[in-house]
């Protein structure tokens, strides 16, 4: 009995050693290190990347240990974004994370046939990326969509709620930016339904925007009731939005619809998803991809919108934000 027991114990130890060796867990097996390429249109959107990395930490991905990031910021530079994505493809990264729309569209087009998954955030999918459905995007792509068409209507409603007598609204945009066509179509219909006038200013550079605004001043009285910052590349950029808001402040015109940093310059509201939360939502999808789930089978996520309200700027313009609106706000600047 003693010999049998000894034989049994030795056999068990031998099996354990073999299993350990085969799994490499007892011989210092190196943990998989995931390589993620990140490309964005604008540096202000890096809050999304910060939220993404924070979410990945919560899921067990520690930078420098089992995940690395190659971050490429290509401000208003489609060619630079293309070069960045091509570099990621050459490097055979495990995932390309992109935001907002322009970088995401470029990455989607360039990665076809490569097998590299693309995860986007703050991307206007409509009219830009041919997904099969929200529940099953298909191909090599998934992510957190930007609810742009819904938001642009909400922006208009907020302007009218804060300044009910609005009749003429000015908006500039880059006609070549991916989101523009869809955004304009929705905005034009909404403006028409309220019997308002939309003063469109198609531009591609800050110099063109400045020339447009100067022309309005040269006409004498600036006959504009409000300015909307459409969710597209030109008016959402820091340089252009600042020029617009400074012009609006000079002429006591409310501006709304931008990104939270525009509140610092005097915009009266922002209504959009929280960027850090958006990044964390994207991290959940990245984890699924790393566990072997094909990107195209992971449903798209639509984040919750939040209202940031500049009550101080609203009062300075002689306008009113009622209690109902104040209760909706995620943050109020007083």
Confidence band for 29, pLDDT divided at 50, 70 and 90? low
* pLDDT averaged over every residue in the chain: 90
The C-alpha atoms of residue 317 and residue 163 are separated, in whole angstroms, by: 10
Beta pairing, strands 255-256 & 226-228? parallel
Find residue 185's DSSP bridge partners. none
Residue 22: what pLDDT? 45
Collapsed DSSP state (helix, strand, coil) of residue 209:
helix
Query: Which of 134, 78, 132 lies closest to 107, judged by CA?
Result: 78
Q: What is the tens place of the pLDDT at every residue in 210-262? A: 999 999 988 777 899 999 999 888 898 889 999 999 999 999 999 999 999 99
Neighbours of 273 (CB within 10 A): 22
pLDDT at 63: 97
In the chain, what are the domains? 34-146+274-304 (3.40.50.2300), 148-273+307-333 (3.40.50.2300)
Supply the pLDDT for residue 44: 79
Q: pLDDT tens-digit profile of 116-174? A: 999 999 999 988 999 999 999 999 999 999 988 889 999 999 999 999 999 999 999 99
pLDDT tens across 71-96, in order? 999 877 889 999 999 999 999 999 99
Q: Which residue has the tokens 């009550």?
A: 311
For residue 118, list its beta bridge partners: 96, 141
Q: What is the DSSP string of 88-130?
A: HHHHT-SEEEEESHHHHHHHHHHTTTT---EEEEEE--TTTS-
């Amino acid at each position: 009995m003693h010999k049998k027991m000894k034989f049994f114990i030795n056999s068990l130890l031998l099996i354990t050693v073999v299993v350990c060796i085969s799994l490499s867990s007892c011989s210092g097996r190196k943990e998989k290190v995931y390589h993620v390429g990140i490309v964005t249109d604008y540096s202000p959107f890096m809050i999304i990347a910060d939220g993404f990395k924070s979410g990945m930490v919560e899921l067990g991905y520690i930078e420098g240990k089992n995940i690395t990031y190659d971050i490429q910021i290509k401000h208003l530079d489609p060619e630079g974004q293309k070069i960045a994505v091509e570099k990621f493809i050459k490097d055979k990264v495990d995932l390309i994370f992109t935001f907002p729309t322009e970088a995401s569209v470029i990455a989607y087009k360039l990665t076809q046939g490569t097998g590299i998954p693309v995860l986007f955030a703050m991307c206007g999918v409509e009219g830009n990326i041919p997904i099969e459905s929200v529940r099953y995007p298909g191909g090599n792509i998934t992510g957190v969509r930007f609810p742009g068409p819904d938001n642009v209507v909400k922006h208009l409603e907020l302007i009218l709620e804060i300044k009910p007598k609005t009749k003429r609204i000015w908006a500039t945009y880059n006609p070549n930016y991916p989101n523009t066509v869809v955004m304009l179509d929705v905005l034009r219909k909404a403006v028409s339904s309220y019997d308002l006038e939309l003063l469109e200013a198609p531009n591609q550079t800050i110099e063109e925007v400045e020339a447009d605004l100067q022309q309005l001043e040269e006409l004498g009285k600036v006959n504009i009731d409000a300015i909307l910052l459409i969710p597209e590349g030109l008016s959402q950029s820091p340089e252009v939005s600042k020029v617009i808001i400074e012009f609006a402040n000079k002429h006591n015109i409310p501006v709304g619809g931008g990104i939270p940093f525009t509140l610092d310059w005097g915009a009266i509201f922002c209504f959009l998803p929280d960027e850090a939360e958006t990044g964390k939502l994207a991290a959940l999808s990245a984890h699924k991809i790393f566990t072997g789930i094909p990107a195209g089978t992971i449903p798209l996520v639509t984040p919750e919108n939040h209202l940031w309200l500049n009550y101080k700027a609203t009062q300075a313009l002689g306008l009113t934000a009622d209690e109902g609106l104040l209760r909706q706000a995620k943050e109020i600047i007083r």
